[in-house]
Amino acid sequence: MKIGTVRLGSIERVALLTHDKGGVLLPLGLGDLVNIINSGPFALDSVKRTAADSAAETFDLAAVKLLAPIRRFRRDVLCTGWNYWDHFYESEGKREGQDVPKPDAPTFFTKAPDVVIGPNDDIAFDAKLSAKWDYEAEVVVIVGKTGRSIPQAKAMDHVFGYCMANDVSQRDLQRRHGGQWLKGKSIDGTMPLGPWVTLRDDIDISTVTIEFELNGKTMQRAGIADMAFPISELIAELSSGMTLHAGDILLTGTPSGIGNARTPPVFLAEGDRLVTRGSGLGELVNTVRAVDLTAYRT
């Protein structure tokens, strides 16, 4: 089952994609997708009954706007760095004096929630802010059950489902701020998320392949099986002493092929078309569009 969020007229609705051209709208009383996730198995059973109900309200994809499936965040977006060793090694000597030894445990950081945009929205771009806009295709884990110090053997029980993201990054901002990633990963309107959440039990995540195309050229391609630290270990390590909440999202890292590591480097520019896909998870299709991000706004 694939579940997400659409806008029909002026109303946002949680929806189920049941076929290529549309699906079923869930009752407004269930709330948004974060409400459904927080409500646990009871709410999910209600969702499944709606999907099977011949009298359920339906929608056509052509008549709605597809939004990011998660629209409400209680904390920053959780992220994993260097989770494919080929990506870690491809950037050696290209971090402008900020190289570090190969880590023995997962590397975590966060992004501000205002980065999140829909799966087909334009990516905000301002050349005045940064000269090094880069791409990173990633699988996203949606946490389905709150927990702390989750054992690795139980980690997958805390997964609601999966979707895709592109962790668009500003490499010069990362370097400017001491190698800390928050600022260079948190520019407004730059991270497409979606298109739909595929439920955990509906896909064998270990077989998923992720791929990124820039203007029709494949730049990244790798299998989830190539991760340095599997999803179960990411959850166990991140939750050690730290509560993960139902509805949180965790980006799981990007493989090799990023623009900054190429010779010569390849950075995003106005008008670029980005396609980020995961087998069985769908694809994000976004265009880079100029926006004045440096103007004072209240």
CB burial of 156-176 (b: ≥16 within 10 Å; e: otherwise) equals bebbbbbbbbbbbbbbbbbbe
- Which residues does 191 contact at the CB level (< 8 Å), separation at least 6? 77, 111, 115, 116, 117, 165, 166, 167, 168
One digit per residue, the tens of pLDDT, for the chain of length 298 reads: 999 999 999 999 999 999 999 999 999 999 999 999 999 998 889 998 998 898 999 999 999 999 999 999 999 999 999 999 999 999 888 887 678 899 999 999 999 999 999 999 999 999 999 999 999 999 999 999 999 999 999 999 999 999 999 999 999 999 898 888 999 999 999 999 999 999 999 999 999 999 999 999 999 999 999 999 999 999 999 999 999 999 999 999 999 999 999 999 999 999 999 999 999 999 999 999 999 999 999 9
pTM above 0.95, yes or no: yes
Measured between alpha carbons, how far apart are the two ends of the chain, in Å?
A: 40
- Which residues does 161 contact at the CB level (< 8 Å), separation at least 6? 3, 142, 144, 197, 198, 199, 200, 202
